């Protein structure tokens, strides 16, 4: 099933990641821009001619006015499951054990996209989502991630707890972000294989997921607000894991997006 992406970064990163392009729609009279030129070059290289369309049509296609004059139809992305998760956990990445970001029913596309952007910057091994009650990999998520989600292995599982238990079975630790956690986020060791679990906006981790975690960590809060939103809190946790690993990010392999 085709997927519509909009905005220059999401469309360009999808093209860079090798997604199959079906149509490219451009608003007329766009000023010269290196990213736009690269988009057109990628499209022409795969035999797709840009189609000039009125901005009103782009707005209808993208369901938003924030399309930056660009929208594109791509083949839908195939997501992995538990089998692919096992492959990711067993993939040899010297000096960089598996680092997973697991989103427990995060439904806000802005939070999901922002977390994907940080995850890609921190070279996570993969992102794991439950099949139900999670933000899908929509155009809004792609836009919020500035296209970073295109370069991440994303797995969708029927049972998040089963995925976490697989992490433990293969020698990893499960660290959940929880406002009531008993440990401070920077006092846990993330240097081994680790799954970081971020809960939904509002109610956080579900009880069963919380019970499955080996560590529940909190962020110290010195102000009057009780917590940070999921994207900010999860990003801090990801960067703490990367800091402990010395920011020794692995190079992308040929098999990665």
CB atoms within 10 A of CB 202: 11
Q: Quick: pLDDT tens for 10-28.
A: 999 999 999 999 999 999 9
> What mean pLDDT value characterizes the chain?
92
Strands 183-184 and 173-177: unpaired
**Mean pLDDT, to the nearest integer, of 193-213?**
93
Q: Quick: pLDDT tens for 93-111.
A: 888 999 999 999 998 999 9
Q: State which CATH number among 3.30.1330.30, 2.40.37.10, 3.40.720.10, 3.40.50.10420 fits the domain covering 2-75.
A: 3.30.1330.30
* Percentage of the residues of the chain whose pLDDT score is greater than 70: 97
pLDDT at 33 over 50: yes
pLDDT at 254 over 50: no
Is residue 10 within 8 Å of 67, Cβ to Cβ? no
Q: What are the extents of the domains in the chain?
A: 2-75, 82-244
pLDDT bracket for residue 253 (50, 70, 90): low
Q: Quick: pLDDT tens for 65-95.
A: 989 999 999 998 888 888 899 999 988 788 8
* Dihedral in degrees, nearest 10, Cα atoms 184, 185, 190, 193: 110
pTM summary value:
0.91
Name the fold adopted by 82-244. Alpha/beta knot (3.40.1280)
pLDDT bracket for residue 256 (50, 70, 90): low
Q: Greater confidence, 185 or 254?
A: 185
Whether 2-75 shares its CATH topology with 82-244 is answered: no
**Tokens representing 52?**
């000039």
**DSSP code for 142:** H
Distances (CA, A) of 172 to 47, 63, 154: 45, 41, 19
The backbone torsions φ and ψ at residue 215, rounded to the nearest 5 degrees and listed phi first, read: -135, 140
Partners of 204 in beta bridges: 200
Q: What angle do CA 238, 162, 121 make, to 5 degrees?
A: 20
Residue-level pLDDT at 257: 47
- Which of 51-55, 95-99, 135-139, 210-214 has the least mean pLDDT? 135-139
Q: E strands of 84-220, at which residues?
A: 99-104, 126-130, 154-157, 173-177, 183-184, 194-199, 215-218
């Amino acid at each position: 099933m085709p997927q519509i992406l909009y905005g220059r970064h999401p469309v360009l990163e999808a093209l860079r990641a090798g997604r199959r392009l079906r149509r490219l729609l451009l608003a007329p009279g766009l000023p010269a821009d290196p990213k736009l030129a690269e988009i057109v070059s990628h499209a022409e290289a795969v035999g797709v001619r840009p189609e000039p369309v009125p901005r009103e049509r782009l707005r209808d296609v993208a369901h938003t006015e924030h399309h930056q004059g660009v929208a594109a139809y791509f083949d839908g992305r195939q997501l992995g499951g538990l089998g692919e998760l096992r492959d990711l956990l067993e993939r040899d990445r010297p000096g960089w054990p598996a680092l997973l970001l697991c989103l427990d029913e995060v439904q806000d596309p802005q939070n999901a996209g922002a977390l994907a952007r940080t995850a890609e910057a921190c070279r996570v091994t993969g992102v794991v989502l439950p099949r139900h009650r999670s933000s899908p990999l929509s155009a809004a998520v792609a836009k919020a991630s500035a296209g970073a989600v295109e370069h991440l292995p994303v797995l969708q599982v029927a049972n998040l707890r089963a995925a976490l238990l697989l992490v433990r079975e293969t020698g990893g630790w499960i660290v959940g972000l929880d406002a009531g956690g008993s440990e401070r986020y920077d006092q846990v060791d993330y240097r081994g294989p680790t799954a970081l679990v971020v809960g939904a906006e509002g109610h956080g981790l579900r009880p069963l997921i919380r019970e499955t975690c080996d560590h529940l960590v909190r962020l110290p809060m010195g102000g009057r607000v009780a917590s940070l939103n999921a994207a900010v809190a999860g990003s801090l946790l990801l960067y703490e894991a990367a800091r402990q690993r010395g920011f020794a990010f692995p190079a992308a392999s040929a098999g990665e997006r």
